A and B are shown apart, each in its own frame.
Chain A
Amino acid sequence: MELLSYSAIELSHMLENKIISSVELTTAFLENIAKTDSSIGAFLTVCAENAIENARLSDKRTASGSRLHPLDGIPFALKDNICTKGIRTTCGSKMLEDFVPPYSATAAVLVEKCGAVLLGKLNMDEFGMGSTTEHSAFKVTRNPLNESYVPGGSSGGCSASVAAHQAVFALGSDTGGSVRQPAAFCGVTGLKPTYGRISRYGLVAFASSFDQIGVISQSVRDNAIVFDAVSGKDPLDATSIDNSKFNFSDEIFSDNLDGIRIAVPMELFNDNIHYDVRNSILNSIETFKTLGAKVEFISIPEISHALAAYYIICSAEASSNLARFDGVRFGHRSELFNGIDELYENSRSEGFGSEVKRRILLGTYVLSEGFRDKFYSKAQLARQAIINAFLKAFSNYDVILTPTTPTAAYKLGEKLTNPVEMYKGDVCTVCANLTGFPALSVPCGKNSSGLPIGLQLMGKAMDEQTLYRVGECFERAVTK
């Protein structure tokens, strides 16, 4: 249905001008979910009644001329690790299968304050650990462009729902690429903001120093409008940054990229990157040049340590963050136990899937006495070296361009035998999490099987504005 493929900005104008109502719009999306989700499997919880009610309230506001924000009345969905008061929040895990939080994440509250309409909660790899959404305890999500393929992960439900027009936009979370990679696999746009720019309050923690809520949308402009709604300092999150609210403005965008300096690191353009992807990036480089940007290949050797540093640190933090799931105060509690140790062991063994267990074991190991210096401390030193290297690169360039992923989407079940094979897919995305710098993935082509390929634009801290300018200009050029 055509209504479903309009962008948020277009829909916003239509709502404002009363060409359509939010109730019509929301109903259309709910109908599409009902029609398509049995095969796509993006949603874990659909909040149909609440959605229609909120749509009705939005229409009232429009009628009385008191629309809250451009996003008022626009249907969206949330990854299921973003807490929603009164609505089941599972994190894709048996551990939280029946968990209903008595509080909402700040980002969720902010979107609601704009009047946007929550359609439901989206499937994900358990606790954010995974790159295909196959590690969800509940169901598999399929890539809407080809249902034998993965949608990416851990925000696979987000990218699939937006790509399948089940939601206009979605909020996901990105710890090592979990918003950008699924966006690339499904042919949509995904932003991981500067660390600290979107509050983490209410986002169930995986790796605290990497986690950020991210925006998945159909277009770059849509992405920017949503980022405007959810960004800014939050007193409930001590790691959120002062004066970090992003303000959307048409002035951000431009018809050309004169004066923009783009660097492409060789380390993410070698044989580890699939031929189709490299080709697509080369074509994109030509487009950037045509638009007026200067593009150069550079070397950032520290990138070779990124994947190892990332997995060591994120597992260490995850082993600590997930220790609270002990069956005592909330979440799954085993029915069989004798004493506290068995309560812990049985509840956690039953509640967690194998990938989560793997990461907890790895994380506990790298922090333990005798190994901490060799692994955790070393990884943090490597992290600092990577940060310094990128800072150096950004002193000469405005944007660093890489493929978002080494390959396009692969088949369901293809990378489940060897976890490290799946981890390798994060090689292009982890640097943004290690450094805290913002990164935007936009579609740039298709592979020989017709599956989408994404390119990644990395920017300086707090410079999402430049990423949006470059991304939108490129998007317009390739959509002609």
Chain B
Amino acid sequence: MKLINGYEAVIGLEVHVELKTATKIFCGCSTAFGAPPNTQCCPTCMGFPGTLPVLNKKVVEFAVKAGIALNCKIAKNTKLDRKNYFYPDLPKAYQISQFDLPLCFDGHLDIEVDGETKAIGITRIHIEEDAGKLIHDDTLGTLIDCNRCGVPLIEIVSEPDISSFEQAVAYVKKLRSVMMYAGISNCKMNEGALRCDVNLSVRKLGDKTLGTRTEIKNLNSFNFIQKAIEHEYERQIKALEAGETIIQETRRFDEVSGKTFSMRQKENFNDYRFFPEPDIPPFVLSEEDIENLRLQIPTLPEQRKRNYVDAYGITDYDAEMLTSEMFISDYFEQAAKNCKSPKLLANLLITDLLKSADLSSETFPISADNFCSIIDMMSDSVINSSTAKKVLKYYCENPGTCENPSDYVRSNNLGQINNKDELYEIIAHIIDNSPKVVNDFKSGKNAAAKSLMGMVMGKTQGRANPVLAEEILNSILQNI
């Protein structure tokens, strides 16, 4: 992000993540996305009189795991609080959240931008319930869908350690990845499972005091996060240079114009009158509880990357690609376990499978064992790399093939020709039948050798051992 007039941006992010528990935080309704309106709600999540919230234990477990994955301290004593305000998507006219004793605090997440690592502090993580959805209809007016009321959320608040949109996007991407690996959310931004609020202020580089910050809520794509930050950064600087003061307020990001707009005053002034939730007793987490949850978290991407580099000699860049999604990482580990060359496996996985296979359902068209088997054949020179790609392509286009790769190679006669005598015969035959090309070679055109090699590959359907073929070709040519 380009700095303007020596001002730095001071950015903190509040990210809301929907937990993928089967049921809501305070009642037994389903949390599944996409159901017809008001079909996944009950008197409790609709705030009917006399109903009471009962805390879903799994929500606490998921939130603690999120905290552990983000290097946080976990509160031993914690409670819920009521945040009181009126809005049609909030049935009880209060949200049950956490005020002064959040479940997790004092954590950090390392991000990498332009090869540099930076630790972004995490102030706190707390649990709370989601509100419903308002849908505006021209004829009917505002419609309320209560399906989302009571869906469990964690709110992850970062320290204002972020100073550019690049860092902000890297932070959200990494956060998403860690949350998915930890198994607590599917983080589908297009389904609203991860929502980002940006808090931004500016100050002159070197200045220690913080400027007035504004908040931009509900940015649901990396693109919008970038645009909103860029625009707001510029807007604040322009205002300050013109002698205006920045008003502390919540602003709305307009996707069409790419600008932020001030929201009505009313939406800014809210005294939430927090007080402890009397319907849910405060609770305690023991060291044992926390330790048991820690053991349930699978190895996170950062650690996996290091493992791949250390154990398999894979490059940082490749390791980053392999850990970009958990299903890719799990697949790689499964295939690499007994593979003769994990490095080769990583290579082929990245250049071929990831590029061409349909992975929309997060499963690979070829089993990890079969993939490993193809790599092993390459390592053993049973097939060469171009054959390997051909075989891989076959498996990708025919998912569900039962035949194992070595059988397939054998039955289709795809095995590499490693026999020197056999190769000599083929190459000699080609040379005898290509006098013009041989003459070109003799007159110094090096491309001719390549062309001859091409003919060898063509004649052998790509099965010639390239190293041996080249050796033999060269030795014949030199003796002509």
Q: Which of A238, A330, A364, A372 contacts B52 (CB 8 A)?
A: A238
Given contacts A236-B52, A239-B281, contact A316 B275 (CB under 8 A): yes
**Chain B contacts of A374 at CB under 8 A?**
none
> Quick check: B48 and A323 within 8 Å, CB to CB?
no
Contacts of A319 in B (CB 8 A): 84, 273
B53 touches A324 (CB 8 A): no
- The CA of A96 and the CA of B49, in the complex, are separated in Å by 10
A376 at the interface (CB under 8 A from B): yes
Within 8 A of A (CB), among B177-200: none
Once the chains are docked, how many angstroms separate the CA of A237 from the CA of B51? Answer: 9
Instruction: Decide yes or no whether A200 CB sits under 8 A from chain B.
Output: yes
Partner of B43, one of A81, A103, A344, A364: A103
Is residue A317 within 8 Å, beta carbon to beta carbon, of the partner chain? yes
When the two chains form their complex, are residues B280 and A201 in contact, meaning their CB atoms are under 8 A apart? no
Which residue of the partner chain A has the closest CB to B82? A320
- Asked if B273 and A329 sit within 8 Å, CB to CB, the answer is no
Q: Are B271 and A239 in contact (CB under 8 A)?
A: no
B47 at the interface (CB under 8 A from A): yes
CB distance from A372 to the nearest CB of B (A): 7
CA distance A438 to B48 in the complex (A): 28
Query: With the chains together, A372 CA to B43 CA distance in Å?
Result: 31
Closest Cβ neighbor of B144 among chain A residues: A328
Which residues of A are found within 8 Å of B275, using beta-carbon distances?
Answer: 316-317, 320, 367, 372, 376
Is B101 close to A, CB under 8 A? Answer: no
Q: Known contacts A323-B86, A368-B271; is A317 also within 8 Å of B49 by CB?
A: no
Residues 25-66 of B at the A interface (beta carbon under 8 Å): 43, 46-55
Q: Which residues of A contact B389 (CB under 8 A)?
A: none
| Distance to closest chain B CB from A108 (angstroms) | 10
Let me know if B113 is at the binding interface, CB within 8 A: no
Contact yes or no, B273 A372, CB < 8 A: yes
> With the chains together, A221 CA to B365 CA distance in Å?
74
Which one of B46, B53, B86, B281 lies within 8 Å of A329 (CB-CB)? B46
User: A323-B92, A368-B271 in contact; A209/B278 too (CB < 8 A)?
Assistant: yes
- Indicate if the CB atoms of B84 and A323 lie closer than 8 Å: yes
Q: Mark A163-206, 1 if CB is under 8 A from B, else 0.
A: 00000000000000000000000000000000000001111110
Q: Which residues, 286 to 338 on A, are CB-close (under 8 Å) to B?
A: 316-317, 319-320, 323-326, 328-330
Residue-wise, chain B 77-93 has the 8 Å CB interface mask toward A (1 for contact) of 00000101010100111
Q: Any chain A CB within 8 A of the CB of B222? A: no
Answer whether residue A478 sits at the interface, using C-beta atoms and an 8 A cutoff: no
Chain A residues touching B, majority SS: loop
| A99 on interface, CB distance cutoff 8 Å | yes
0/1 interface trace, chain A 60-89, chain B, CB 8 Å (1 if under): 000000000000000000000111000001
Instruction: Contacts A239-B278, A239-B281 given; indicate if A200 touches B49 (C-beta within 8 A).
Output: no
Q: Which of B70-106 contact A (CB under 8 A)?
A: 82, 84, 86, 88, 91-94
Q: How far is the CB of A422 from chain B (nearest CB, A)?
A: 25
Bitwise, B301-343 to A at CB < 8 A (1) or not (0) is 0000000000000000000000000000000000000000000
- Closest B residue to A210 by beta carbon equals B278
The answer for the CA separation of A208 and B280 in the assembled complex, in Å, is 10
A83 to B51, CA, bound (A): 10
For B254, what are the chain A residues with a Cβ–Cβ distance below 8 Å? none
Given known contacts A367-B273, A367-B275, A201 and B51 CB-to-CB distance under 8 angstroms: yes
- Known interface pairs A208-B278, A320-B84; A238-B50 also in contact (CB < 8 Å): no
Assembly CA distance A236 to B94 (angstroms):
20
Q: Which residues of B contact A236 (CB under 8 A)?
A: 52, 54
Q: Pick from B84, B93, B142, B281: contact of A238, CB below 8 A.
A: B281
Contact with A along B264-293 (1 / 0, CB 8 A): 000000010101001111000000000000
B55 touches A330 (CB 8 A): no
CB-CB under 8 A for A344 and B94, given A208-B278, A237-B52: no
**Of the candidates A103, A235, A317, A328, which one forms a contact with B88 in the assembled complex, judged by CB atoms under 8 Å apart?**
A328
Which residues of chain B come closer than 8 Å to A326, judged between CB atoms?
A: 86, 93
Contact present for B93 and A323 (CB under 8 Å): yes
Given A209-B278, A329-B46, A369-B271, answer yes or no on A324-B91 (Cβ-Cβ < 8 Å): yes
Q: Which residues of A sit under 8 angstroms from B280, Cβ to Cβ? A: 238-239
The answer for the CA separation of A252 and B243 in the assembled complex, in Å, is: 81
Looking at A91, A236, A328, A330, the one whose CB has the most chain B CB atoms below 10 A away is A328
Chain B residues whose CB sits within 8 angstroms of the CB of A201 once the complex forms: 50-52
Check B54 against A235 for contact (C-beta < 8 Å). yes
Contact B49 A205 (CB under 8 A): yes
Tell me whether A101 is interfacial, beta carbon within 8 Å. Answer: yes
Whether B49 contacts A83 by the Cβ 8 Å rule is yes
User: Are B92 and A324 in contact, CB atoms less than 8 angstroms apart?
Assistant: yes
Q: Cβ of A205 and Cβ of B50 under 8 Å apart?
A: yes
CB distance from B56 to the nearest CB of A (A): 11
How far is it, in angstroms, between the C-alpha of A237 and the C-alpha of B50 when the chains are bound?
Answer: 10
- Decide: A202 and B88 in contact? CB cutoff 8 A: no
Distance between B338 CB and nearest chain A CB, rounded to angstroms: 49
Check if A105 is an interface residue, CB within 8 A of chain B.
Answer: yes
Selected from A102, A202, A203, A323, the residue in CB contact (under 8 A) with B94 is: A323
Q: Could you tell me the distance between the alpha carbons of A270 and B314 in the complex, rounded to whole angstroms?
A: 86
The CA of A367 and the CA of B275, in the complex, are separated in Å by 8
Q: Nearest-CB distance from B26 to chain A (Å)?
A: 9
A418 to B52, CA, bound (A): 34
Closest residue on chain B to residue A331 by CB atoms:
B49
Set of chain B residues within 8 Å of A204, measured between Cβ atoms = 49-50
Q: Is A282 an interface residue (CB 8 A)?
A: no
Q: How many Å lie between the Cα of A203 and that of B279 in the bound state?
A: 13
Query: Chain B residues near A91 (CB, 8 Å)?
Result: 49
The interface residues of chain A lying within 8 Å CB-to-CB of B279 are 205, 208, 238-239
Distance between B136 CB and nearest chain A CB, rounded to angstroms:
12
Question: What 1/0 mask marks residues of chain A from 203 to 219 whose CB sits below 8 Å from any chain B CB?
Answer: 11100110000000000
CB distance from B86 to the nearest CB of A (A): 6
Does any Cβ of B come within 8 Å of A340's Cβ? Answer: yes
Task: Please tell me if the beta carbons of A329 and B91 are within 8 angstroms of each other in the complex.
Answer: yes
Chain B 106-119: CB-based contact to A (< 8 A → 1; otherwise 0): 00000000000000
Q: Which residues of A contact B93 (CB under 8 A)?
A: 320, 323-324, 326
Closest B residue to A365 by CB, please name it.
B273
Closest B residue to A370 by beta carbon equals B271
User: B54–A99 contact, CB under 8 A?
Assistant: no
**Of B48, B82, B92, the contact of A330 (CB 8 Å cutoff):** B48
Of residues 5 through 44 on chain A, the ones whose CB sits less than 8 Å from some CB of chain B are none
- Chain B residues near A325 (CB-CB < 8 A): 49
Least CB distance from B65 to A in Å reads: 23
The 5 closest A-B pairs by CB, nearest first: A323-B93, A367-B273, A208-B278, A209-B278, A204-B49
**17 pairs, A vs B, C-beta closer than 8 Å:** A103-B43, A103-B50, A200-B52, A204-B49, A205-B49, A238-B53, A323-B84, A323-B92, A324-B47, A329-B48, A330-B49, A340-B88, A344-B86, A367-B275, A368-B271, A368-B273, A376-B275
**A237-B52, A239-B280, A330-B48 given. 8 additional CB < 8 A pairs?**
A101-B43, A105-B50, A238-B53, A239-B278, A317-B278, A324-B91, A324-B92, A376-B275
Q: Which residues of A contact B (CB under 8 A)?
A: 81-83, 89, 91, 96, 99, 101-103, 105, 200-205, 208-209, 235-239, 316-317, 319-320, 323-326, 328-330, 340, 344, 364, 367-369, 372, 376
